[in-house]
Amino acid sequence: MVVSTELSTFEEVNIFFDQAADHLDMDEGVRKLLRRPWRELQVSVPVRMDDGRIEVFNGFRIQHNGVRGPYKGGTRYHPMADLEEIKALASLMTWKNALVDIPFGGAKGGVQCDPRDMSEDELNRLTRRYTINIEHLLGVNRDIPAPDLGTNSQVMAWMMDAYGQIHGYTPGIVTGKPVELGGSAGRSSATGRGVVFVMREVARQLGMNVEGARIVVQGFGQVGSWTVRILGEMGCNVIAVSDVLGGVYREKGIDVEKLMQHKERAGTVVGFADADLIRNEDLLELDCEFLIPAAIDRVITEDNAPRVKARVVVEAANHPLTPGADEILNDRGIPIIPDILANAGGVVVSYFEWVQNLYQRQWEEERVNEELKKIMTKAYQAVQETVDSKNITYREAAFLIGVKRVAHVAKLRGFI
Ligand code: NAD
């Protein structure tokens, strides 16, 4: 039994990497090369706060592996975004980009701050200073940031502007920008769209029906709210949702459209009149067919995994399950659709955005969604075939495919 509470997030993700390396009978030297980040940058980010004080934040950009193409990965603003977490998220990007077979390596960045406590002006100044401090690592063919937890299209617009002040107009330097600045149609909904797409495929495989299922979603930001919205449009039965302030629950199903309107007005799902309050911890243990963690890492651990009652867990967030929780749910026969497959829709459409920026042409949303579906279908089918042929879990299959592709290209390029 893996007891992961003592381990850092990065060490936890490497347990999943090692499972894949074992399946591939990988040489110890190659493992060493692929496990650790290629480059780690830690910077100080001084910001003049609105009250005149100077605050100094920790910033990071981790380039995990770039053998398959330019480094690619989001930018997280969160109080827990430390070096180990960003390294973990960067390595997940390496395996995810390889799994969906887009020509990018894996990276991640972040600043240890609480954006909810900062004004718009403070966030603008923080983003510009952070961008300038990591700018020497970035480049359209080197490293391309995107939004993640705590950041959004506005933050990407500031990053693009700060980079452009040094290098000139460079829309392809970030993805997840506002459409008016060269962002892609369909980028904001892409991760949620991918989550729902994979859910439907897996449901079909398991003889389940998404439309009739009870669905629980933790997190109501970019990923969670779009997932809920798309499920709502399909007429699905979303019975509980939450954000950082708490959750709402209605056994007969929540009116998603009304909930979106409430969130728009109140800035949170809490206080929604047509449902009961529920704590985030209890929401994870609700009786349902699909549980979709779409907020932060490590919310399902060895402690609460035995009480999870979902029939399937879909990892819309990155690393929401510790390896110990993963093992408990596997033993209980609960399938887990891993992050590197379930939430890959975001980086796939980021790839389309980068392509559109390279030749300065915007695609229609219809084309974006069609191409997204093609790539997600191919990745899902590869995972399902590996699950069936090797009799392993979805996570093991997804990591096996991603890790194998990266190792192969590392060899072709002469790294090993
Ligand atoms: P976001 O900042 O837009 O939204 C995060 C949501 O989670 C908010 O509703 C917030 O209130 C809630 N939340 C924060 N802390 C919480 C807590 N302790 N308990 C319950 N809810 C909490 O972030 P996002 O972009 O939606 O990212 C969510 C997850 O999805 C992250 O793990 C991220 O890495 C992953 N992800 C995001 C994208 C993307 O395109 N944005 C792509 C792939 C994966």
407 vs 87: CA distance, rounded Å: 19
81 vs 331: CA distance, rounded Å: 31
Residue pointed to by tokens 């974006």: 368
Question: Does residue 291 contact residue 284 with C-beta atoms inside 8 Å?
Answer: yes
Ranges assigned E (strand) in 89-228? 105-111, 143-147, 214-218
Supply the pLDDT for residue 5. 55
pLDDT exceeds cutoff 90 at 219: yes
This prediction has a pTM of 0.97
> How many Å lie between the centroid of ligand 1 and the Cα of residue 150?
7
pLDDT band at 358 (very low <50, low <70, confident <90, very high): very high
> How many Å lie between the centroid of ligand 1 and the Cα of residue 268?
13
The 10s digit of each residue's pLDDT in 108-165 is 999 999 999 999 999 999 999 999 999 999 999 999 999 999 999 999 999 999 999 9
Strands 214-218 and 290-293: parallel
Token digits for 40? 């780690």
256 lines ligand 1 (CB under 6 A): no
Token digits for 249? 């629950």
> How many Å lie between the centroid of ligand 1 and the Cα of residue 188?
13
148 vs 164: CA distance, rounded Å: 21
pLDDT exceeds cutoff 50 at 74: yes
351 lines ligand 1 (CB under 6 A): no
User: What integer is the mean pLDDT of 206-214?
Assistant: 95
Question: Which among 175, 150, 397, 169 has a CA at the least distance from the CA of 295?
Answer: 150
Q: For all residues of the chain together, what is the average pLDDT?
A: 97
| Residue 177 annotated in active site | no
pLDDT exceeds cutoff 70 at 35: yes
In sequence order, the 6+-apart residues with CB closer than 8 A to the CB of 130 are: 43, 45, 57, 59, 109, 111
* Residue closest by Cα to atom 15 of ligand 1: 244
pLDDT exceeds cutoff 80 at 1: no
* Residue closest by Cα to atom 42 of ligand 1: 346
pLDDT exceeds cutoff 80 at 284: yes
DSSP assigned state of 136: G
User: What integer is the mean pLDDT of 219-244?
Assistant: 97
343 lines ligand 1 (CB under 6 A): yes
Helix (H) or strand (E) holding 348: helix 345-358
Token digits for 233? 């449009």
User: What integer is the mean pLDDT of 44-51?
Assistant: 98
The atom of ligand 1 lying closest to the CA of 343 is: 43
218 lines ligand 1 (CB under 6 A): yes
Question: Does residue 324 contact residue 305 with C-beta atoms inside 8 Å?
Answer: yes
> How many Å lie between the centroid of ligand 1 and the Cα of residue 53?
29
407 vs 31: CA distance, rounded Å: 9
In sequence order, the 6+-apart residues with CB closer than 8 A to the CB of 22 are: none
Token digits for 246? 């708490």
269 vs 263: CA distance, rounded Å: 5
Supply the pLDDT for residue 372. 98
CA 52 to chain centroid, in Å, comes to 35
Question: Does residue 254 contact residue 229 with C-beta atoms inside 8 Å?
Answer: no
The 10s digit of each residue's pLDDT in 315-355 is 999 999 999 999 999 999 999 999 999 999 999 999 999 99
Supply the pLDDT for residue 172. 98
